[in-house]
Amino acid sequence: MNIAKAPQLIRTTGLGSCVGVVLFDERKQISGMAHVMLPNSELTRVKPINKAKYADTAIPLLLENLIKWGAGAHEVKAKIAGGSQMFQFAGGNEMMRVGPRNVEAVKKELDRLHIRLVAEDTGGNKGRTIEFNPQTAELSIKTIDMGIYVI
Amino acid sequence: MNFEQNFTSFHLDILKEVGNIGAGNAATAMSQLLNKPIEMKVPSVKIVNFEEITELVGGPETVVSSVFLRIEGDAPGSMFFMLPVKQAKRLSRDLIGEELAARSEHAFSELAISALQEAGNIIAGSYLSSLADFTKLNVEPSPPALSIDMAGAILSFGLLELSRAGDHAIVINTTFIDQSEHLAHEIQGYFFLLPDPDSFKKIFQALGVPLDE
């Protein structure tokens, strides 16, 4: 989990079933990124939990940090990317569907915190590297087949 | 499970031996498949955090062809057989011939993909069956799945079970080398064996060296 102010960029590489969640205050040009691996902290088997990994703990923590850095609580918006299903199996158990489940859990949490989701590039079966520029609020996404595009 | 506290170097050496036997059989299978000598390096066993694991294949954005198998049975876990994309191209050419394999830089023909999938299945299957013989554990592979994409995106999927129990993985990693080619053309493949947290206890117990708790 990282915070960046313009002109810094914030980036995470090789997202598969994980979801990159960017929260940002466009006016103040502050942003933060969380790397959500699993939908729910109840899935953990150890204490203390690593809050940065779960949708239901990482997003509130990121919001809190962003506000500490000076973001306006009601100004914060979100862009998300990731949540692929990297491997296709016949049948397949619930764990195989973790990408889509992560996306659902992230959206639910954003909703609960009244954070508006302004753009997303989720699902599919491709890995993504993402980079956010707090100055322009653009999230650029790179995949191996489609090159770089911006949301 | 806290790997660093519970594991001695002795335990890591045993895992290395497991990797050695598995990969030795897999190398033989690969060599029969390609009809040329394939050698393997001595496996390495490392306790790594999740960020470090992709460094083993050249970083999270390195494009690899990866066969993934879920290990089911007594000691569940995940297994990957990875080839850098250039080497996957070579392998698919070796298997089905130049014209059928060719398409664009990253894209593989349908036939090349199923050839890679099947090769991965044979190689990983022989690794796993020697693991089963050695430990006398009942372990079976799920049907294989293939993905050609960024190493980070692929490996993180195999870390899901482990990530529920911590932020580290024990990686048993073996590298293959195709000795019949010039050094610059060698096929280098990577095996990743990622047992689930509870499986370590079972593997060590089966081998007669239980973990101290």
Residue A114: CB atoms within 10 A of its CB come to 9
Residues in Cβ contact with B80 at an 8 Å cutoff, skipping those fewer than 6 apart = B66, B67, B68, B69, B154, B155, B158, B190, B191, B192, B194
pLDDT tens across B7-32, in order?
Answer: 777 878 877 887 788 878 888 887 88
Find the catalytic residue in A3, A10, A15, A18: A18
Per-residue pLDDT at B132: 85
Residue spans of the domains in chain B: they are 3-206
pLDDT tens across B166-181, in order?
Answer: 777 777 777 777 666 5
Question: Among all residues of chain A, which has the CA nearest to that of B149?
Answer: A127
CA distance B173 to chain A (A): 20
Tell me which long-range contacts A2-6 makes (C-beta under 8 A, separation of at least 24). Answer: A2/A32, A2/A33, A3/A30, A3/A31, A3/A32, A3/A65, A3/A66, A3/A69, A4/A30, A4/A31, A4/A32, A4/A33, A4/A132, A4/A134, A5/A29, A5/A30, A5/A31, A5/A69, A5/A134, A6/A30, A6/A133, A6/A134, A6/A135
CA distance A34 to A24: 12
H helix runs in B139-209, sequence order: 151-158, 160-163, 199-206
For chain A, the distance separating the N- and C-terminal CA atoms, rounded to the nearest angstrom, is 21
For the segment B48-67, the average pLDDT, to the nearest whole number, is: 82
CA distances from B53 to A126, B78, B154, B158 (A): 20, 14, 11, 11
Is any Cβ of chain B less than 8 angstroms from the Cβ of A17?
A: yes
SS3 B168: strand
Question: Among all residues of chain A, which has the CA nearest to that of B145?
Answer: A87
- Token pair 């045993």 in the structure block, residue: B14
CA distance B150 to B103: 19
Residue B76: CB atoms within 10 A of its CB come to 17
* CB contacts, 8 Å: A98 with chain B: 157, 160
Is any Cβ of chain B less than 8 angstroms from the Cβ of A39?
A: no
Peptide bond into A7 cis (omega under 30): yes
Q: Which fold has domain B3-206?
A: Chemotaxis protein chec (3.40.1550)
Is any Cβ of chain B less than 8 angstroms from the Cβ of A92?
A: no
Per-residue pLDDT at B193: 81
Q: What percent of chain B has pLDDT over 90?
A: 0
* CB contacts, 8 Å: A45 with chain B: 164-165, 197
Residue from the list B145, B152, B161 with its beta carbon closest to the beta carbon of A14:
B152
Using the beta-carbon criterion (under 8 Å), do B152 and A13 form an inter-chain contact? Answer: yes
Using the beta-carbon criterion (under 8 Å), do B149 and A90 form an inter-chain contact? Answer: no
Amino acid sitting at position B138: N
Q: Which range has the worst mean pLDDT, B55-69, B76-90, B130-144, B165-179?
A: B165-179
Q: Give the residue among A38, A20, A55 at the shortest CA–CA distance from A127.
A: A20
SS3 B20: helix
Query: How high is the ipTM of this complex?
Result: 0.81
Is any Cβ of chain B less than 8 angstroms from the Cβ of A122?
A: no
Q: What DSSP letter does each residue of chain A carry, written as one string?
A: -EEEETT--EEEEEESSSEEEEEEETTTTEEEEEEE-BS-GGG--SSS--GGGBHHHHHHHHHHHHHHTT--TTT-EEEEEE----S--SS--GGGGHHHHHHHHHHHHHHHTT-EEEEEEE-SS--EEEEEETTTTEEEEEETTTEEEE-
Query: How many Cα atoms are found within 13 Å in the side-chain-facing hemisphere of A19?
Result: 33
Q: Which range has the worst mean pLDDT, B32-46, B95-109, B133-147, B199-213?
A: B95-109
Per-residue pLDDT at A129: 94
pLDDT tens across A66-79, in order?
Answer: 999 998 888 999 99
pLDDT tens across B110-152, in order?
Answer: 888 888 888 888 877 887 888 788 888 888 888 888 888 898 8
Domains of chain A: 2-150 (3.30.1330.200)
Numbered residues of chain B with Cβ closer than 8 Å to any chain A Cβ: 54, 59-61, 63, 68, 106-107, 142-143, 145-157, 159-161, 163-167, 197
pLDDT, averaged per 10 consecutive residues of chain A (151 residues), comes to 86 91 93 91 76 90 93 91 83 72 94 94 92 94 89 93
Assess whether A125 carries a catalytic annotation. no
CA distance A92 to chain B (A): 10
| Radius of gyration of chain B from its Cα atoms, rounded to whole angstroms | 17
CA dihedral A47, A52, A57, A58 (to 10 degrees): 180
Residue from the list B60, B151, B163 with its beta carbon closest to the beta carbon of A53:
B163
Question: Among all residues of chain B, which has the CA nearest to that of A35?
Answer: B156
Per-residue pLDDT at A90: 54
